[in-house]
A and B are shown apart, each in its own frame.
Chain A
């Protein structure tokens, strides 16, 4: 048994900033500590956009110049396996969000453009970007993050876009053995699980629908139990078991071709309430996600 240093104890017990209600109503009053959220969907269904909006909400301050920005003032580690993270898009979303809030706040001073720029710079320093090129690198990098997490109690969330990025490569390198194919991701899940428990972290990851069970294009979307069943059926875990067991909530994201609107279904896994019937519709504009 290794002894714990005072710093470690503090990091473990001392609470990290809460991000509850950051992107409500999609996440309701969550996410809360130790949640592992998976955003699942095919290409172009807005998964990465949800992450960007989350980041914006998390790193902005609660209030600024006595205007309520409703941010969470917490730090984020963003692991960009897909090499798709667009900082310019993030800044646009943040700018628009700040300006929209200022417009509705009578107490706001005029002409804050320069200050907004400075504020965004300051907020961005709370976001760390990591880009990994293969699953081994991701694993080793996660191991090295332990120190970072210990020394920075402001980090509340690790985001991974996407967790399925190296699926095919690992599969083809592993040869015949499933264990060899899944070795790295299993270890990655174990490290994440350890972090979640010792640091009360939140993990939010996207997973591309690389494998799909039969999917009918022309289904009739209804808020019915059968609809939830359908979504459960449509999802088939193709990643390793360790990852599947880690996930506590799965969000199915879909795009409706006719209206250009997106739908997000939340499914709580392993909880007794079973199917949560929340269906949130949103659209993606220049300002980010707009819930309908």
Chain B
């Protein structure tokens, strides 16, 4: 059986495709025994490019799995289940939220937190950036984080607060369990967050483009956070089809990144008002509906009265559900005390570390 795959179904530049076509090269078989120089002579495409084309086409036709860019071979769902179970999620320090997500923020997936300003999206990101570094003896991932800030809302003092609470908590755990203290310090946490500030969407796309190389050099990275993905795409975009294309391309880069390096991708998104005929206007996540399909897991954060709620809106594995949470000095926490007593969510009460089980 000949390999009849058409050359035009390969990622070859359109100008080269038409040159190949007009020189009569149409399927993989046509190129199989050619040298780059011969192909270059026949088509008028540069020698280097011919080499690239031949590499692309011929190595694939021999064995699809040989090129490192080729898709991974098929695996059975059973293997996938074992793999999914072997990847510990990143806990958030809110047990309710973790349970809703099936243990925490999962690796290999895109998790999107949507919410109005002030509801705690940035706090959530910082909490995750810190939590991903919890040492393994406490059940953590002992990883590092990439933090991409597009809005300028990252405040290092807040990160220090959250880091401090987490470090204290780990040290207390260590004391109780008889481990060595000082495995994790505020300094180690801060140096484990790789921070980028992107001022426009071009910078954001460029940063995302360079991430694979960066993560290869820093293999401890377990999470990439983007706060927020919406900011630069919401304004100054007249060409909506271009926006859709850029956003969906970026989404595919993210999911590639997530599965290739087995890391979590956490994105935040803003809310926008949607008017539809015959209905009251309501708040929906920004960036439109085609973007909404991009994230694997979508959590909407919202206020109800004085209480913050997290609503699991979309997930391939978990049911839709809602849990309340609060933001304390030490970061994102469950609401465990009686809600009536806790009229002020922004209270400075220290996280009660005994409540938080990290195991």
- Interface size for B (C-beta < 8 A) is 10
Q: How far is the CA of A156 from the CA of B277 in the complex (A)?
A: 55
Interface stretch of the complex, out of A69-77, A86-94, A167-175, A186-194: A167-175
Across-interface contacts of A169 in B (CB, < 8 A)? 8
Asked whether any CB of chain A lies closer than 8 Å to the CB of B14, the reply is: yes
Interface stretch of the complex, out of B15-23, B195-203, B315-323: B15-23
Contact B26 A175 (CB under 8 A): no
Q: How far is the CA of A159 from the CA of B163 in the complex (A)?
A: 72
Contact B14 A134 (CB under 8 A): no
Q: How far is the CA of A136 from the CA of B8 in the complex (A)?
A: 14
Asked whether any CB of chain A lies closer than 8 Å to the CB of B60, the reply is: no
Asked whether any CB of chain B lies closer than 8 Å to the CB of A110, the reply is: no
> For residues 13 through 55 of chain A, which have their beta carbon under 8 Å from a beta carbon of chain B?
none
Contact A175 B17 (CB under 8 A): yes
Contact A175 B8 (CB under 8 A): no
Q: How far is the CA of A176 from the CA of B17 in the complex (A)?
A: 11
Most buried by B among A169, A173, A174: A173
Asked whether any CB of chain B lies closer than 8 Å to the CB of A180, the reply is: yes
**Majority secondary structure of chain B interface residues (helix, strand, loop or mixed):** helix
> For residues 10 through 35 of chain B, which have their beta carbon under 8 Å from a beta carbon of chain A?
14-15, 17-19, 21-22, 26
Across-interface contacts of A174 in B (CB, < 8 A)? 18, 21
Q: How far is the CA of A176 from the CA of B13 in the complex (A)?
A: 13
Asked whether any CB of chain A lies closer than 8 Å to the CB of B6, the reply is: yes
Within the complex, the shortest CB–CB distance from A183 to chain B, in Å, comes to 9
Contact A175 B19 (CB under 8 A): yes
A-B contact count (CB 8 A): 25
Asked whether any CB of chain B lies closer than 8 Å to the CB of A177, the reply is: yes
Q: How far is the CA of A175 from the CA of B20 in the complex (A)?
A: 10
Q: How far is the CA of A80 from the CA of B14 in the complex (A)?
A: 28
Contact B18 A136 (CB under 8 A): no
Across-interface contacts of A175 in B (CB, < 8 A)? 14-15, 17-19, 21-22
> For residues 123 through 177 of chain A, which have their beta carbon under 8 Å from a beta carbon of chain B?
134, 136, 169, 172-177
Within the complex, the shortest CB–CB distance from B87 to chain A, in Å, comes to 40
A positions within 8 Å CB-CB of B: 134, 136, 169, 172-177, 180
Q: What are 14 pairs between A and B in contact, CB < 8 Å? A: A169-B8, A172-B8, A172-B14, A172-B17, A175-B14, A175-B15, A175-B17, A175-B18, A175-B21, A175-B22, A177-B18, A177-B22, A180-B18, A180-B22
New A-B contacts (17) at CB < 8 Å, excluding given A172-B14, A175-B19:
A134-B6, A172-B8, A172-B17, A173-B8, A173-B17, A173-B18, A173-B21, A174-B18, A174-B21, A175-B14, A175-B17, A175-B18, A175-B21, A175-B22, A177-B22, A180-B21, A180-B22
Task: Give the 9 A-B CB pairs with smallest separation, nearest first.
Answer: A175-B18, A173-B21, A173-B8, A180-B22, A174-B18, A173-B17, A175-B14, A175-B15, A172-B8
